């Protein structure tokens, strides 16, 4: 475990800083001034924490040595029986006698009395083999819609952390309404998990647990909220429950998407056919030579741990049932007793995948994902894939490892991912070009859209481009996209053989990289048709060549009013939640002024005044419904108070009309350097008339 040491600035670090979410382990920590009082207060206040540390000291020789060094430096010794700290001259009193610190005949001393120093000899781990290569059993497990808990119960953290080094676990499922009660459910979950973990560690236990789970006729029959199978809920009620769960997890943008959703398409033949059309099966791609020009990327512990922490709260799981929150639970709290060993194990697995050492037979499961067919407003189907946490974690680590090379490769061809203010800078630059050359009829703007772009990318081109530009991660990308992967729909599956999965963190890079290849080939209009070699197809209906008129007030006002009306309609859905606190939270975070910020920052204030006033009326109406339920006592003064920031005792619901006066100017100023970079090869420089006009209105 972590050792106590003195940094270059003479800051003493605690030996238990990896335990109990110790604040001394945070980045930027300044050490502990009163070490002994901190250990007593934070690490040894309860019997549970003492038990965790006693077990850790008994098994971790590095931690044992670090604690002894700390105690020696502060003139203290620890009684292993009661886990208390004493001065070297004091006894520790117990009903059966006294324990005291002694010095050995050779002058050596043990500052931890009652706990034997762990052996430094490596233990041999007997790994179960064979089961992981049973493709039929793996496919059967992945086909079952198994519900998992979102976080690990407190009393199970240590046992789960130990078991996570080798495998997963089985969760308890309620059998009747009595067991569905919160108190009973929690205790039954804990006892079932501990029992399963104990069985898992025995010889043949893993096979027994998997078979018991698959033989259970109730697998997949229990709903999320527990209880016996109930009648199908309406799409509206399902959406509302899902919204409240997303709010609890802090996924506010997802709440908006769910609230406006048309629901999930029924799992029937028509849905399967529509999904197969979007995921056409093709032969395996042409694989690059296995000879690589540089060694595979090797991740360190800090990088892996940082990527684990970067997962948002409530991140969904794949068909394997493992969630990012499970990993965080195991690495923090009481499970932190073996956190260092666990993060070492996780990092080793990540590096194994990056090095291409995963058997190819498992690739179709590593890259698999459950597919949810969402209905669009026009009754078309939008497939949503949720990759496993392991796949997303390794891809995050890979992206972080080649981040600088990626930015250099994409260069001036994309401004949407990882570029602060990039989209606003592109629009401002285009408007400056229009303002300068609006009378030049020889210029045109080309907007390009690809049909089903994520699902039609040619994988052979993708693999060769990654091999050429990013050889250190090519083995991992080959594993994911070198063969077809399984996409599970209920208890069936289709094959993913052509596309880049949208749930993959790499999807945000792969599509811009194809656009980069396309841009480098656009030397002539004829040569642009080489996009067919990339697997992409133009969407003719959305591909346009035009030269807009400059400052078209009618068009800008109409578009701004349409967007304001959509935002007001969205706020009108809030009463369905029947939760005023959630309504206010959503208005502040993503459904109020947040829906208008982009338009306010990219359009001139003079053209959006009417739409801003219309939006403010809708926002005020929503606030009245929350505060006074549409009744009296909510006038102009209350509206003004509500629009104040929270630090000034307001509700933080800003007025679009007031924000419009400075948002456009602020965006132009903040993205000015990026605009100059985009327009560096043009003759455009200095402020344009739109910016100067907005400045005069401040």
Tokens of 509: 């890079």
φ and ψ at residue 96, rounded to 5 degrees: -95, 10
Inter-residue contact 87 to 145 (CB < 8 Å)? no
User: Taking residues 131-157, what's their average pLDDT?
Assistant: 68
User: Taking residues 235-242, what's their average pLDDT?
Assistant: 73
- 35 closest CA partner among 8, 16, 53: 16
φ and ψ at residue 488, rounded to 5 degrees: -90, 130
Q: Identify which of 94-108, 109-123, 566-580 has the greatest average pLDDT.
A: 566-580
Is the domain of 199 the same as that of 332? yes
Inter-residue contact 256 to 590 (CB < 8 Å)? yes
- Nearest-angstrom CA–CA distance, 427 and 424: 5
Please count the structural domains in the chain: 4
Q: pLDDT digit string (tens) for 93-107?
A: 888 888 888 776 555
Segment (H or E) for 287: none
pTM of the model: 0.66
Is the domain of 563 the same as that of 661? yes
Is the domain of 326 the same as that of 398? no
Q: Are strands 485-489 and 369-375 parallel, antiparallel or unpaired?
A: parallel
Q: Determine the pLDDT at residue 175.
A: 47
Confidence label for 223 from pLDDT (cuts 50, 70 and 90): very low
Is the domain of 576 the same as that of 673? yes
Q: Report the share of the chain in percent with pLDDT over 70.
A: 72
Determine, yes or no, domain membership for 16. no
User: Taking residues 191-206, what's their average pLDDT?
Assistant: 69
Q: pLDDT digit string (tens) for 124-135?
A: 333 334 444 567
pLDDT at 210 over 80: no
Higher pLDDT residue, 262 or 276?
276
Name the least confident of 403-407, 408-412, 474-478, 657-661: 408-412
Higher pLDDT residue, 229 or 537?
537
- Chosen domain end from 498, 530, 546: 546
User: Taking residues 161-178, what's their average pLDDT?
Assistant: 46
pLDDT at 652 over 70: yes
Confidence label for 564 from pLDDT (cuts 50, 70 and 90): very high
Q: Determine the pLDDT at residue 560.
A: 92
Determine, yes or no, domain membership for 246. no
Q: Determine the pLDDT at residue 157.
A: 65
φ and ψ at residue 374, rounded to 5 degrees: -85, 145
Determine, yes or no, domain membership for 366. no
Is the domain of 41 the same as that of 86? yes
Q: Determine the pLDDT at residue 469.
A: 81
Strands (E), 434-524: 445-447, 485-489, 492-496
User: Taking residues 561-587, what's their average pLDDT?
Assistant: 90
Q: pLDDT digit string (tens) for 609-627?
A: 999 999 999 999 999 888 8
Q: Determine the pLDDT at residue 505.
A: 66
- Chosen domain end from 483, 518, 546: 546
Is the domain of 324 the same as that of 342? yes
- 262 closest CA partner among 377, 349, 172, 418: 377
- 640 closest CA partner among 625, 628, 657, 660: 657
Higher pLDDT residue, 568 or 205?
568
pLDDT at 241 over 50: yes
Name the least confident of 34-48, 279-293, 346-360, 381-395: 279-293
- Nearest-angstrom CA–CA distance, 237 and 233: 6
Q: Identify which of 388-392, 406-410, 680-684 has the greatest average pLDDT.
A: 388-392
Q: Report the share of the chain in percent with pLDDT over 90.
A: 8
User: Taking residues 470-474, what's their average pLDDT?
Assistant: 87
Q: SS3 string of 310-377?
A: CCCCCCCCCCCCCCHHHHHHHHCHHHHHHHHHHHHHHHHHHHHHHCCCCCHHHHHHHCCEEEEEEECC
User: Taking residues 470-476, what's their average pLDDT?
Assistant: 88
Segment (H or E) for 381: strand 381-385
Q: Determine the pLDDT at residue 146.
A: 66
Q: Determine the pLDDT at residue 139.
A: 76
Name the least confident of 31-35, 322-326, 487-491, 524-528: 524-528
CA 338 to mean position of chain CA atoms: 24
Q: How high is the mean pLDDT of the chain?
A: 76
User: Taking residues 674-684, what's their average pLDDT?
Assistant: 86
Long-range contacts of 308-315 (CB under 8 A, 24+ apart): 308/346, 308/393, 310/396, 311/389, 311/392, 312/249, 312/250, 312/251, 313/249, 313/250, 313/251, 314/150, 314/245, 314/246, 314/248, 314/249, 314/250, 314/251, 315/389
User: Taking residues 527-546, what's their average pLDDT?
Assistant: 59
Residue 216 makes CB contacts below 8 A (sequence gap 6+) with 173
Determine, yes or no, domain membership for 339. yes
- Nearest-angstrom CA–CA distance, 59 and 1: 10
Residue 258 makes CB contacts below 8 A (sequence gap 6+) with 239, 242, 243, 246
Is the domain of 72 the same as that of 130? no
Q: Determine the pLDDT at residue 610.
A: 93
Terminal Cα distance for the chain, rounded? 58
Is the domain of 138 the same as that of 107? no
Q: Determine the pLDDT at residue 633.
A: 79
- Nearest-angstrom CA–CA distance, 21 and 13: 14
Determine, yes or no, domain membership for 18. no
Residue 169 makes CB contacts below 8 A (sequence gap 6+) with 160, 163, 193, 196, 197, 200
pLDDT at 35 over 80: no
Tokens of 188: 């039954």
Q: Determine the pLDDT at residue 665.
A: 92
- Nearest-angstrom CA–CA distance, 385 and 372: 6
CA atoms within 13 A on the CB side of 587: 33
Burial letters for 307-326: b for 16+ Cβ neighbours within 10 Å, e otherwise?
Answer: bbeebeebbbbbbbbbbbbb
Is the domain of 558 the same as that of 533? no
pLDDT at 158 over 80: no
- Nearest-angstrom CA–CA distance, 443 and 447: 14
- Chosen domain end from 528, 546, 564: 546
Place of tokens 């995948």: 353
CA atoms within 13 A on the CB side of 567: 30
Q: SS3 string of 68-121?
A: HHHHHHHCEEEECCCCEEEECCCCEEECCEEECCCECCCCCECCEECCCCCCCC
Higher pLDDT residue, 204 or 622?
622
User: Taking residues 578-582, what's their average pLDDT?
Assistant: 87
Tokens of 456: 């039609």
Is the domain of 344 the same as that of 469? no
Inter-residue contact 214 to 141 (CB < 8 Å)? yes
- Nearest-angstrom CA–CA distance, 66 and 180: 46
Is the domain of 388 the same as that of 480? yes
Domain that holds residue 496: 375-416+437-546
Inter-residue contact 373 to 274 (CB < 8 Å)? yes
Determine, yes or no, domain membership for 484. yes
Secondary structure (3-state) at 546 = strand
Determine, yes or no, domain membership for 8. no
- 275 closest CA partner among 167, 372, 377, 403: 372
User: Taking residues 251-263, what's their average pLDDT?
Assistant: 81
Q: Are strands 445-447 and 381-385 parallel, antiparallel or unpaired?
A: unpaired
Say which DSSP state 590 is in.
I
Confidence label for 222 from pLDDT (cuts 50, 70 and 90): very low
Q: pLDDT digit string (tens) for 416-460?
A: 777 888 889 999 998 888 888 877 777 888 887 776 655 566 778
- Nearest-angstrom CA–CA distance, 156 and 195: 10
pLDDT at 5 over 70: no
Is the domain of 406 the same as that of 529? yes
Place of tokens 């602060």: 420
User: Taking residues 189-196, what's their average pLDDT?
Assistant: 67
Q: Determine the pLDDT at residue 684.
A: 84
Residue 698 makes CB contacts below 8 A (sequence gap 6+) with 661, 662, 665
**Residue 94, class by beta-carbon neighbours within 10 Å (0-12 exposed, 13-18 middle, 19+ buried)?**
exposed
Determine, yes or no, domain membership for 581. yes
Inter-residue contact 473 to 296 (CB < 8 Å)? yes
């Amino acid at each position: 475990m972590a050792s106590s040491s003195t940094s270059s600035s003479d800051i003493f670090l605690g030996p238990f800083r990896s335990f109990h979410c110790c604040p001394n382990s945070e980045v930027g920590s300044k050490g502990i001034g009163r070490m002994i009082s901190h250990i007593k207060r934070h690490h040894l206040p309860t019997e549970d924490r003492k038990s965790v540390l006693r077990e850790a000291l008994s098994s971790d020789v590095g931690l044992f040595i670090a604690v002894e060094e700390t105690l020696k430096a502060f003139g203290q010794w620890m009684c292993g029986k009661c886990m208390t700290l004493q001065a070297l001259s004091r006894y520790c009193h117990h009903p059966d006698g006294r324990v005291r610190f002694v010095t050995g005949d050779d002058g050596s001393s043990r500052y931890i009395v009652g706990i034997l120093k762990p052996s430094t000899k490596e233990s041999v781990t007997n790994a179960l083999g064979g089961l992981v290569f049973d493709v039929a059993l793996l496919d059967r497990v992945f086909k079952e819609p198994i519900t998992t808990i979102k976080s690990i119960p407190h009393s199970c953290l240590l046992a789960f952390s130990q078991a996570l080094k080798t495998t997963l676990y089985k969760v308890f499922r309620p059998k009747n309404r009595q067991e569905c009660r919160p108190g009973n459910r929690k205790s039954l979950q804990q006892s079932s998990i501990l029992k399963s973990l104990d069985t898992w560690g025995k010889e043949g236990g893993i096979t027994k647990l998997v078979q018991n789970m698959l033989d259970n006729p109730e697998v997949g029959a229990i709903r999320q909220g527990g209880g016996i199978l109930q009648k199908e809920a309406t799409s509206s009620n399902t959406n509302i429950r899902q919204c409240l769960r997303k709010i609890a997890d802090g996924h506010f943008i997802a709440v908006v998407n769910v609230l406006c959703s048309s629901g999930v398409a029924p799992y029937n033949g028509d849905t399967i056919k529509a999904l197969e059309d979007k995921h056409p099966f093709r032969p395996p791609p042409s694989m690059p030579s296995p000879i690589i020009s540089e060694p595979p990327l090797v991740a360190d512990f800090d990088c892996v741990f940082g990527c684990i922490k970067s997962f948002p709260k409530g991140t969904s799981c794949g068909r394997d049932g493992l969630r990012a929150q499970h990993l965080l639970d195991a690495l923090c709290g009481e499970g932190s007793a073996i956190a260092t060993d666990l993060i070492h194990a996780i990092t080793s697995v990540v590096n194994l995948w990056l090095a291409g050492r995963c058997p190819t037979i498992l690739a179709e499961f590593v890259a698999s994902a459950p597919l949810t067919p969402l209905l669009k407003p026009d009754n078309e189907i939008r497939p949503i894939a949720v990759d496993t946490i392991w796949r997303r974690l390794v891809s995050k680590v890979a992206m972080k490892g080649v981040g600088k090379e990626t930015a250099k490769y994409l260069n001036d061809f994309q401004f949407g991912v990882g570029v602060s203010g990039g989209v606003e800078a592109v629009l401002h630059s285009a408007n400056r070009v229009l303002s300068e050359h609006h009378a030049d009829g020889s210029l045109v703007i080309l907007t390009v859209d690809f049909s089903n772009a994520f699902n039609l990318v040619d994988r052979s081109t993708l693999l060769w481009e990654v091999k050429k530009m990013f050889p250190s991660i090519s083995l991992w990308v080959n594993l994911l996209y070198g063969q077809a992967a399984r996409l599970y729909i209920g208890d069936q599956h289709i094959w993913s053989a052509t596309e880049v999965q949208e749930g993959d963190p790499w999807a945000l890079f792969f599509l811009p990289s194809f656009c980069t290849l396309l841009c480098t080939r656009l030397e002539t209009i004829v040569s642009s048709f080489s996009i067919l070699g990339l697997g992409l197809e133009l969407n003719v209906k959305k591909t346009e060549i035009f030269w807009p008129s400059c400052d078209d007030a009618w068009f800008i006002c109409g578009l701004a009013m349409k967007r304001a009306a959509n935002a007001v309609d969205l706020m009108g859905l809030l009463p369905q939640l029947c939760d005023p606190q959630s309504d206010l939270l959503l208005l502040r975070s993503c459904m109020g002024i947040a829906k208008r910020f982009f338009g306010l920052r990219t359009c001139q204030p003079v053209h959006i005044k009417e739409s801003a006033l219309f939006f403010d009326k809708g926002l005020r109406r929503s606030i009245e419904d929350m505060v006074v339920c549409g009744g009296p006592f909510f006038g102009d003064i209350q509206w003004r108070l509500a629009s104040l920031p929270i630090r000034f005792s307001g509700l933080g619901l800003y007025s679009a009309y007031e924000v419009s006066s400075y948002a456009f100017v602020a965006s132009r100023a903040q993205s000015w350097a990026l605009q100059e970079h985009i327009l560096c090869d043009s003759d455009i420089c200095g402020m344009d008339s739109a910016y100067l006009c907005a400045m005069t209105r401040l």
